[in-house]
Amino acid sequence: MAEETTNTGSSGICASVIDAIGYAPVVDLSRLAANLDGRILAKLEYLNPGGSKKDLISRAIIDSAEKKGLLKPGQTVLELTSGNTGNGLAMICAVRGYPFIAVMSRGNTPERAAMMRGMGATVVLVDLDDANQGITAEDMKRVEDTAAGLTEEHNAFRADQFNRQENAEAHYRHTGPEWLRQTGGDIDAFCDFVGTGGGFAGVARAFKEHDPAIQCFVVEPDGAAKLAGQCISCCAHVIQGGGYAKELPLLNRDHVDGHLAVKDEDVAVVTRRLASEEGIFAGYSSGANASAARQLLQGDFRGKTIAVTICDSGLKYLSTDLWRDGHED
């Protein structure tokens, strides 16, 4: 497992914003876990320049495509996205001179689309079948079909984050080793909300190679926990970027030690507590991870150390109920 390095000169100045990706700090969520026996350690991936952990895989996919000759100078890059990978790709394409088209469901927040457009991307929004039902597997298929048609129309390079091994490999070579270096490997469990499954797959692989005793848990929304074998009863959960009730090719089931389901109301409360008690202004998936970690510390992992990811910034959710005045916990 070889850790990647950044392209900085002797002065420490990055050649571009792309080289500022990665090396997020780890903090102890001591206030959030104050009434519990154990520790929750959080890696602040939302501090990446594009505002999420997906900056890393965006760079990895583009770097690999350039090296393999799959992406030609000036060629259009295209990807379906809930917004975070789109933000990462928009940032990288802006620097390297590629036109970028993001295909996104209208079920995701408009802040993400605005951010991509600000970096020069074209954003194609796909209507939901029923907004009250959330983003369903059928909605995702429509987004996929739209992306496939536009890829052909524009002769575009498809980033294909759900299937490209560069996704999981980036976290295996970068995020996992960072965790181990920053914590000295003193981790008992890792829990991660899965979107593509690449983040979980890469970090879990690195952890298992370091110490097979580290337990790795997939986090899903209650009511849409397909990977746990749960009957799908509700796709209208608050957590964007995952919980699509679909199979994930990048996920290595051999590294999954268990599944944790989180309820919307708990996720919202914990996400707000991250902001009000820890000063970490994050999105729903981060709250899902921290809520799952609290579940572990209240159960068989009392007295243990749990690792979680702070996936993206709360600035991407200002239009949701999460940060509106008058919310009730």
- CA neighbor of 44 nearest in space, from 29, 25, 21: 25
Tokens 């996104």, located at residue = 104
Structure token pair of residue 222: 């209650």
Per annotation, catalytic residue among 43, 52, 53, 54: 54
Residue 54 annotated among the catalytic residues of the structure: yes
Classify residue 23 as exposed, middle or buried by CB count within 10 Å of its CB (0-12, 13-18, 19+). middle
Place of tokens 């802006």: 94
State the catalytic residue, choosing from 285, 286, 291, 313.
285
CA distances from 36 to 49, 258, 265 (A): 33, 21, 20
Question: Cα–Cα distances in Å, from 79 out to 4, 129, 151?
Answer: 25, 21, 9
Beta strands in 45-83 (DSSP E): 77-80
31 in Cβ contact with 298 (< 8 Å): no
Query: What is the CB neighbour count within 10 angstroms for residue 130?
Result: 11
Catalytic-residue membership of 285: yes
The DSSP call for residue 66 is: H
Walk across the sheet containing 258-262 and list its strands: 26-28, 38-44, 304-310, 189-193, 215-221, 258-262
Which sequence positions are flagged as catalytic? 54, 285
